[in-house]
Amino acid sequence: MLTIKNVLFSKLEQREDHEIVIEKAQLKVTVKQLQERLSLLEQSYAHLDLTGKIVCLTHADPVQYMIFDLFLLKVGAVNMTVPLEFSDTQIAHFFENADYCIVDNDNVYTRLQKINQSVVFLDNNGKQINPGQPLRNNGNRDPSWRKIVHTSGTTSNPKGAIVNEQALANMLDKLTDGICAENSLNYFSFQPMSLLIEQILALYLPLVSGGKVIFKPDHVPAFGLTYTDSDTYLELIRHADANFYFLPPRLIEDLSVQALHLQEKGIDPKAYFFPQNDTYVLTGGGTVNQEATEFLDEMGICVYEGYGVSENTSVISLNTRLCRKKGTVGKPLKHTQVEIIDGEIAIRSNSLFCGYLDGEKVNNPVKNGLFFTGDIGSLDDDGYLRISGRKKNIIILSSARNICPEHVESVYRGSELIEQIVIFGDGKDYLSGIIVPANDKVTKAELDLSIKALSNELPSFSQLNNYLIPKDRNAFMTEYFTITGRPRRDVIEACIKHNLINFTTNL
């Protein structure tokens, strides 16, 4: 049976002491320094029995987060990262399950202590901050639990997916086979550590492949937490000493726009953004504009699209250098079987989660070894998976036409004038939408022309009939999109119904 020790820590122990494993600005951490820090934490926390305990991490500094995450894995604790971008109500929904919470910021402690006073708060050295607070008895938990990962919050109350040791070890093992077979991976990390995929790509794969993680500078917020222009991140990517990236769909689209502008100036986009020959660019987590990836492909920038869910410990399928087909999300990983049942993607895997933690109960939706993802898709004759959209998001017009909004939105996002678009129309005669312009200089006349041109790529019933524009584009993006770039459709519709969003028809 695979364990975290033999797929992760044993690989770290085999590396040379002087090798760099973490970089951030001027900070460089070697293998020896990381091992010493982990040993010191084990000594500092030796008076606490963390095995099987749910420990919340709140560190904003990704270097500190990485060290503490590895420490919790090593001692057999359960890491339940607190997404501080969530509302107090959302945090309270799952914070009640915590045994300990490690904080290194007074403001964070004050906020979380008000949300739940029953948690034992610790500082970075293992000292209790709220003396006298006893550890709660949360019953007998499965000692194999290692992470509780909270969904990105497309609904009001995020769910906590429980990942055990075997699931995490199996995922790392299969991703190592799929991605790390050729070279050391030097990963540039600029996304929130509350995302499981970022933990795997940034914290673990570089360690086991002989590479390093390079973290973004402090002055730039993690991607998706607040609205920040893509140019900021693309400029960081350009200068990063990395060969491994995960770019969300929005950055892929904006990268293609910048690549076109560079080509028009006679500049090679590949050499400009990714000078290293062995660059590995992954994408996923939402609908990817295929025109953007095809253009980047022509420019020599290969984008490898994948697909996954937290319930399978992140990745389900992935295009790789050895197996790649455009327009798909790749073949399922070796340990994962995909079945299409009534159009919905269902999976069998030895990296499936243990269920959702709800108070002291565990609700496990896996039936007969199958987990239904809620996504619509198909497998082609070569075994490649295609994603059409979310089953619950299907729009049925009054004409009985079925429309996947993700596809329509992807087509319209092909315009460099459009940052984001959300379409609606269930039960209506036609589609309406909300468009977030790419910048404040875009005029409505320009948008109308762009929409008219792109509509030709869609069937008449899938074309946008009318749209609204938020008055404050940045506030709208921050409030109504998740950190992974997905629209909170139900929340947006409810707010429109009660006139809670300010729109303008004139730019």
Using CB atoms within 10 Å of the CB of residue 19, give its burial: 0 to 12 exposed, 13 to 18 middle, 19+ buried. middle
Query: Is pLDDT at 359 greater than 90 in this prediction?
Result: no
Work out whether strand 212-215 and strand 20-24 pair parallel, antiparallel, or are unpaired: parallel
Instruction: Report pLDDT digits (tens) over 401-453.
Output: 889 899 899 999 999 999 999 999 988 889 999 999 999 899 999 999 999 99
For the ranges 83-92, 147-156, 235-244, 344-353, the lowest mean pLDDT is seen at 147-156
Query: Which candidate, 310, 308, 300, 297, places its Cα nearest to that of 271?
Result: 300
370 - beta bridge partners?
367
For the ranges 108-112, 163-167, 472-476, the lowest mean pLDDT is seen at 472-476
For the ranges 12-21, 123-132, 153-162, 354-363, the lowest mean pLDDT is seen at 153-162
At 488 the three-state DSSP class reads coil
Query: Which candidate, 249, 315, 311, 235, places its Cα nearest to that of 481?
Result: 249
Can you tell me the distance from the alpha carbon of 352 to that of 166, in angstroms, rounded to the nearest whole number? Answer: 9
Query: Which candidate, 312, 355, 11, places its Cα nearest to that of 168?
Result: 312
For the ranges 282-286, 367-371, 433-437, the lowest mean pLDDT is seen at 282-286
Query: Is pLDDT at 82 greater than 90 in this prediction?
Result: yes
pLDDT in the model for residue 373? 96
| CATH among 1.10.3720.10, 3.10.290.10, 3.40.50.980, 3.40.50.2300 for 4-164 | 3.40.50.980
- Asked whether 375 and 391 are in contact (CB, 8 A), the reply is yes
Residue 96: band (very low, low, confident or very high) from pLDDT cuts 50, 70, 90: confident
Instruction: Report pLDDT digits (tens) over 371-399.
Output: 999 999 999 999 999 998 888 898 988 76
CATH 3.40.50.980 spans which residues of the chain? 4-164
Can you tell me the distance from the alpha carbon of 155 to that of 480, in angstroms, rounded to the nearest whole number? Answer: 11
* Buried b or exposed e, range 30-65, using 16+ CB within 10 angstroms: bbebbbebbeebeebbeebebebbbbbbbbeebbbb
Residue that the structure tokens 């199958």 belong to = 370
Percent above pLDDT 90 for the chain? 74
Query: Is pLDDT at 154 greater than 70 in this prediction?
Result: no
Mean pLDDT of the chain: 92
Can you tell me the distance from the alpha carbon of 446 to that of 407, in angstroms, rounded to the nearest whole number? Answer: 22
pLDDT in the model for residue 155? 47
The CATH number given to 167-352+369-388 is: 3.40.50.12780
CATH 3.30.300.30 spans which residues of the chain? 394-504
Can you tell me the distance from the alpha carbon of 420 to that of 476, in angstroms, rounded to the nearest whole number? Answer: 10
More confident residue, 330 or 131: 330
pLDDT in the model for residue 216? 98
Work out whether strand 78-79 and strand 54-57 pair parallel, antiparallel, or are unpaired: parallel
pLDDT in the model for residue 157? 67
Predicted TM-score (pTM) of the model is 0.87
Please name the fold of domain 394-504: GMP Synthetase; Chain A, domain 3 (3.30.300)
Number of Cα atoms under 13 Å in the Cβ half of residue 377: 28
pLDDT in the model for residue 74? 98
Work out whether strand 186-189 and strand 212-215 pair parallel, antiparallel, or are unpaired: parallel
Can you tell me the distance from the alpha carbon of 178 to that of 322, in angstroms, rounded to the nearest whole number? Answer: 9
CATH 3.40.50.12780 spans which residues of the chain? 167-352+369-388
**H runs (alpha helix) in 400-502:** 405-412, 444-455, 473-480, 489-497
Instruction: Report pLDDT digits (tens) over 24-51.
Output: 999 999 999 999 999 999 999 999 999 9
The terminus-to-terminus CA distance of the chain in angstroms comes to 60
pLDDT in the model for residue 286? 82
